[in-house]
């Protein structure tokens, strides 16, 4: 990374992480029926906008959709491979929770590699527990974490 892009890269990472945290906070507020949920969602949305702008400046223009699909799947492949050593390290250090999470993450990321953008009518279901993506209707159980079908959120264009 070039020194002049480092602040932008840090801003992207910080805003992305903050947005993810605020989405989790919004879920907790929703469970507690707390009106602060709206604030957390607004913060997350604003942070996502800022992260996207930083990413566009870092990476340049976004290419055609077919190229974007190939790039997204390649990124999943790389993340799955990178996650495996972290899994071994966490387990060696006796951190079972982190080890289990990283194993699930690697398995879910690996499952993304068989996905295809398909036709206009393509539908996906995402496991809200581990991030596994299933093409078509929700599976009977998540093959990664064994979550029930109601833990899957449908995604359609």
* Same domain flag for 46 and 70: no
152 and 88 within one domain: yes
Give the model confidence (pLDDT) of 82-123 as tens digits: 988 998 899 899 999 999 999 999 889 888 888 876 655 588
Tokens matching residue 94: 């006796």
Range of the domain at 9: 3-59
CATH at 81: 2.20.28.10
Is 149 found in the same domain as 76?
yes
Give the pLDDT confidence score for residue 150 in this predicted structure. Answer: 96
Domain endpoint, select from 59, 75, 91: 59
53 and 9 in a single domain? The answer is: yes
- 31 and 88 together in one domain: no
Rg for the chain (alpha carbons), in Å?
18
- For 1-21, the pLDDT digits (tens) are 566 678 888 999 999 999 999
CA distance 1 to 21: 26
pLDDT tens, residue by residue, 51-93: 999 988 887 667 788 888 888 888 888 988 898 899 889 989 9
* Sheet (strand 133-135) strand order: 133-135, 123-127, 152-156
Pair 72, 117 in one domain = yes
């Amino acid at each position: 990374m070039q020194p002049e892009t480092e602040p932008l890269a840090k801003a992207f990472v910080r805003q992305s992480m903050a947005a993810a945290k605020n989405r989790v906070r919004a879920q907790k507020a929703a469970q507690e029926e707390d009106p602060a949920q709206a604030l957390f969602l607004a913060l997350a949305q604003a942070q996502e906008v800022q992260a996207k702008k930083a990413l566009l400046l870092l990476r340049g223009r976004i290419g055609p959709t077919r190229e974007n699909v190939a790039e997204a799947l390649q990124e999943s492949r790389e993340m799955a491979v990178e996650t495996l050593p972290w899994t071994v390290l966490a387990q060696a250090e006796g951190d079972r929770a982190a080890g289990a999470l990283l194993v699930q993450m690697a398995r879910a990321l690996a499952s993304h590699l068989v996905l295809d953008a398909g036709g206009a009518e393509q539908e996906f279901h995402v496991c809200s527990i581990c991030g596994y993506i299933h093409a078509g209707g929700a599976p009977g159980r998540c093959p990664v974490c064994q979550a029930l079908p109601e833990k899957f959120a449908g995604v359609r264009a």
